[in-house]
Amino acid sequence: MAEVTMPQLGETVTEGTITRWFKQVGDAVALDEALFEVSTDKVDTEVPSPVAGVLAEILAGEGDLVEVGQVLARVGEPGEPPAAEPLAADEPSPETVESGEVDPDHEPVAPPVDETPADTPASSSVVAEQDVVEPQPSAPPSSTGEPRPAAPAAPAAIVLSPVVRRLISENDLDPSTLTGTGLGGRITRADVEQAIRDRTTAAAETPSTAAAEAAPTAAAEAPSTAAAEAAPTASTVAPSAESTVPPPPAESAPPRKPRKPRRSAVPAVVARSGDSVVPLNNIRRRTAEHMVMSKQTSPHVLTAIEVDYEGVEAVRRASKQAWKAEEGFSLTYLPFIARAVIDALRDYPHLNASFGGDEIVVHANVNLAVAVDIDFQGLLAPVIHDADGKRLRQIARDIVDLANRARSRKLGPDDLAGGTFTVTNAGQYGTMMQFPIINQPQVAILSTDGVSRKPVVVTDTYGNESIAIHSVGVLAMAWDHRAFDGAYAAAFLHRVKEIIETRDWEAEIR
């Protein structure tokens, strides 16, 4: 019986969420036929079956978060009997009876719910996926020889994945109140997150009601509390008759210094009436985690340089109509900048590198990652592989193709793997200068900011200076100070500027 595991869908991908199973237990599966769909922080991918046969067992339900290499299903040969059903929680396995230990590979399945009388209180217990509820021994006979009443039946077990179990525990939820929408009614991560959102919304809508109900109670309790504090104790009013020495005066304790409230590192956020609670989607959550990790990993430094794009602008104006007719998209500044960056990386190879432990890996090829916004829901950085072997026209085509496929969720794992340097284009919104965050484990990322018409000083062939109106913009680069120093970063940016301002771009796009 072959095992189907969670594949590696990119260098930095360590886990994913099962979003859909295309086959059910007992279905025939062909080699390379789509078996399930998995969503990661990078891409949604249909995973094909590595073998042909019959789907014998599904070990991870829809909505479960699974790690790379984790066994998700088993596929058997046609005609092979399906995997043995695991024992119910109240049936001990032979290994348990003989050795007292539980098989770690044994996964419990919730037994059918027994019909109980209406006056019998129902209860439930949460069982971890790798845990087994120990069977209860039958009650021994009483000393009178009459049989003791039978012990109540074991409660029905609820099978939860580790991630779901952690979310339930952290948010103090009762799993018996949750409705599962996963495979076989299983409670998924989405079910728990929805319950958390519902509870938060309900709490936000009734804060004033709770305060109003609490006010009368507090007022009613206040007089009795004050009277109790004012009333002297019995020993103070009437000392014992047997005592001939008057009691010493009570010593008042020195006033205590009020404690300063301890400040939390992260203040709690309370949703108030009218607020909207927006849960993070998968891409947004993973982007947030990656950005925080990057800031904690690399000492970020920002270096920026102003670039005169007038030579580029002249070519764009002259070629825009013919380019649009031939290529089907507009010619922007980004391909020119990308072409200049690729060439400059040959002269400054330590920027085309990755940081790993106590060493820097300087890459032989330039694999240029281009950050793409996904409708303001997160960022993906698909990669132009072997970009150092491409000219401007092909680079422009690759940028448009990757951006379109990223926004339509049609990227494959290879499109997101192997980047060695990243460019992010905030300039389309007219930014002046952006401080981007490094795409780990790379050592630098370049922000292409807005280009606008500005007065500049120009020098003619005779050395005379004058004022002219040119297209000018800023290139801002964040880099890892562990990899090199400021002079190296500044020299690289100066080389990019030089290429953009002096290259014969008209010959480049022919």
Residues carrying an active site annotation: 481, 485
Averaged pLDDT, 482-497: 97
Alpha helices in 332-391 (DSSP H): 334-347
Higher pLDDT, 125 or 156: 156
Query: Which residue spans of the chain are classified as CATH 3.30.559.10?
Result: 283-508
Place of tokens 């985690």: 289
Higher pLDDT, 70 or 180: 70
DSSP string, 50-85: SS-EEEEEE-S-TT-EEETT-EEEEEE-TTPPPPPP
Averaged pLDDT, 146-167: 58
Averaged pLDDT, 282-303: 89
Higher pLDDT, 431 or 42: 431
pLDDT of residue 272: 86
4 φ, ψ (degrees, to nearest 5): -105, 120
Q: Name the pLDDT band for 308 (thresholds 50, 70, 90).
A: very high
* pTM of the predicted protein model: 0.58
Whether 356 and 441 have beta carbons less than 8 Å apart is answered as yes
Query: Is the per-residue pLDDT at 57 higher than 60?
Result: yes
Give 403-438 as a 3 state SS string.
HHHHHCCCCCHHHHCCCCEEEECCHHHCCCCCCCCC
pLDDT of residue 143: 47
Query: Which residue spans of the chain are classified as CATH 2.40.50.100?
Result: 2-76
Tens of pLDDT, residues 179-236: 887 656 778 777 887 888 788 777 666 555 555 555 555 444 444 444 444 444 433 3
Q: Name the pLDDT band for 268 (thresholds 50, 70, 90).
A: confident
3-state secondary structure of 210: helix
Distance of alpha carbon 286 from alpha carbon 280, whole angstroms = 9
Q: Name the pLDDT band for 293 (thresholds 50, 70, 90).
A: very high
Fold of 2-76: OB fold (Dihydrolipoamide Acetyltransferase, E2P) (2.40.50)
Q: Name the pLDDT band for 430 (thresholds 50, 70, 90).
A: very high
- Mean pLDDT, all residues of the chain: 78
Alpha helices in 81-148 (DSSP H): 94-99
Distance of alpha carbon 138 from alpha carbon 397, whole angstroms = 74
Distance of alpha carbon 380 from alpha carbon 385, whole angstroms = 15
Q: Name the pLDDT band for 90 (thresholds 50, 70, 90).
A: very low
Tens of pLDDT, residues 233-264: 433 334 443 444 455 555 555 555 555 555 54
Query: Is the per-residue pLDDT at 394 higher than 60?
Result: yes
Tens of pLDDT, residues 336-378: 999 999 999 999 999 999 998 789 999 999 999 999 998 887 8
pLDDT of residue 224: 46
CATH number for the domain running over 283-508? 3.30.559.10
Averaged pLDDT, 422-428: 93
Distance of alpha carbon 161 from alpha carbon 127, whole angstroms = 9
Angle between helices 189-205 and 207-230 (to 10 degrees): 60
pLDDT of residue 285: 81
